[in-house]
Structure formats: structure tokens, C-alpha cells
Amino acid sequence: MIVPEKAKKTENGFQFGARLPYYRGISLSMVEEIEVTLDGETLPQSAVNITVHGNTYDLVQREKETDDRWEMGEEAILSVKKEDGLSVGEHKLGLKINLRIGYMPFPSIRVAEKKIII
């Protein structure tokens, strides 16, 4: 679900591409958690913004968005705020996505880990 080729440094942190680990597209309100770890450090969820087809949402906006969807197979951009920035070279990136499935009693949780090069 991590698209490492899209990883790069940004003005206030870094960003990378991600695909939804599920069989269909879902509204953003159902993305319960996006947890990013960098070189073993878990970053706060409020530091992660998501951009789908040009629309960017922070954590609060994402939880309320019941119309706009992260579509199946769509590459979303996850931008992460990180004050001390990111050094040039190789980093270990971890991603956990927890989906609240509107019709299931238990959530769908997927984790992935990839190396990114800045």
C-alpha cells in the first residue's frame, strides 16, 4: 500500500504515495487511523494530511468527510509534518491504515513497511 517512488521532502516534512488496502473505495470518514512511523518513530496522526484527486484533508476534516472518497486503486498523497525535517538518504517508512467498515463488526487493519530514499 506504500508507493515509495512518490516519497520526497517537503517544506515542513515529507510526503509519499499510498493505495487503499481494501477491495473498494470508501468515504474518507471511514479511514479511522493513518499511522506513520519513520525509522521506528511513530508520528502523531494529527501530523498527517491526505490528498485524493487534488483535495487535501487534515485529520479533523477527514473524519467529517462522508462524500469524498479514496477510490479503489487511487494513489493518495500522505503529507507528514515533521519539524526537524528529513535527512538525505535511506529511511524506513511504516504505515498502518485502520478502516472502519460501515457494515462490519470489526475494522480492517493493514500494515506495511518500505524503504524510501530522499
Partner 1 sequence: MSNIKLATSLFSYAYEWNSGKYTLEDVIAETRKRGLGTGLEIIGFQSLRGFPYISNETEKEVKNLLDKYEFEPVALDANIDVGIKRHQKMTTDETVEYIKPQILAAQKLGFPILRVQTTAPAEVYQKLVPFAEKANVIMGVELHTPYSVDHPSVIKMLEMFKEIDTHVLGFVPDMGTCMRAIPDALLTSFKASGVTDEMIEATKEIWHKDISTPQKFGELAEKVGVMGATPPQIGRLNMAFSMNGRQPIESWKEIMPYVVHIHGKFYGFDENGDEPSIDYEKIFKVFNEGGYNGYISSEYEGSAFTDEFDAFDMVEMQHILFKKILKDLT
Which residue ranges make up the site for partner 1 (CB under 8 A)? 19-27, 29-30, 32, 63, 66, 69, 71-73, 75, 100-103, 105-106
- Check: CB of residue 20 under 8 Å from CB of residue 72: yes
Cβ closer to partner 1: 15 or 27? 27
Under the phi-then-psi rule, with left for phi > 0, alpha for psi from -120 to 50, and beta for the rest, what region is 12? alpha
Q: Whose Cβ is closer to partner 1: residue 36's or residue 62's? A: 62
Shortest spacing between CB 58 and partner 1, in angstroms: 15
HSE (CB half, 13 Å, CA atoms) of 86? Answer: 27
Q: How far is the CB of 34 from partner 1 (least distance, A)?
A: 14
Residue closer to partner 1, measured from CB, 6 or 82: 6
CB of 84 to partner 1, least distance (A): 32
- Whichever of 10 and 21 has its CB closer to partner 1, that residue is 21
DSSP 30-52: GEEEEEEEETTEEPPGGGEEEEE
Taking residue 49's Cβ as centre, other Cβ atoms within 10 Å add up to: 19
